[in-house]
């Protein structure tokens, strides 16, 4: 049974700083997803990582996947206030994202 753990669960950082959110998963997962959720809103897809060593970047966010370590990271570069949100990682086991196991989320607050 796939289990997904994120850390930290809460992250407060200053604008301009860099930080990394970690996502560990317990068994083989054939894909890893990252999502963003603003307070009271729905989820927005950020990245899908399909293979070992995959790296994807969008603006100040970069996600990577190490299947051997069962670890994905979401790296934030030079944080800005607009990045404040809750970030979720999720693992899939059936070749697609219809059956995902989510982590508990990391609530990121970027302070001026």
Partner 1 sequence: NAGVTQTPKFQVLKTGQSMTLQCAQDMNHEYMSWYRQDPGMGLRLIHYSVGAGITDQGEVPNGYNVSRSTTEDFPLRLLSAAPSQTSVYFCASISGRGYGFETQYFGPGTRLLVL
101 counts as binding partner 1 under rule CB under 8 A: yes
Q: Map residue 83 onto helix, strand or coil.
A: helix
- Find the shortest distance in angstroms from Cβ 78 to partner 1: 26
Answer for the pair 2, 103: CB distance below 8 angstroms, yes or no. no
Which positions ≥6 away from 67 have C-beta within 8 Å? Answer: 28, 29, 51, 52
Sketch the per residue contact string, 36 through 55, with partner 1: x for CB under 8 A, - otherwise: -----xxxxx--x-x-----
Of 16-24, 64-72, 74-82, 95-103: span binding partner 1 (CB under 8 A): 95-103
Residue 12 or 45 having the CB closest to partner 1:
45
In terms of phi and psi (left: phi > 0; alpha: psi -120 to 50; beta: otherwise), the region of 59 is: left
Residues that bind partner 1 (CB under 8 A): 33, 35, 41-45, 48, 50, 88, 90, 95-105
């Amino acid at each position: 049974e796939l289990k997904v753990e994120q850390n930290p669960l809460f992250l407060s950082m200053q604008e301009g700083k860099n930080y990394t959110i970690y996502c560990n998963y317990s068994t083989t997962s054939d894909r890893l997803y990252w999502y963003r959720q603003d307070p009271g809103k729905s989820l927005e897809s950020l990245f899908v990582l399909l293979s070992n060593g995959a790296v994807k970047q969008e603006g100040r966010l970069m996600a990577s996947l190490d299947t051997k370590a069962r670890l994905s990271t979401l790296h934030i570069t030079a944080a800005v206030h607009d990045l404040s949100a809750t970030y979720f990682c999720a693992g899939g086991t059936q070749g697609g994202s219809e059956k995902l196991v989510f982590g508990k989320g990391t609530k990121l607050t970027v302070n001026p």
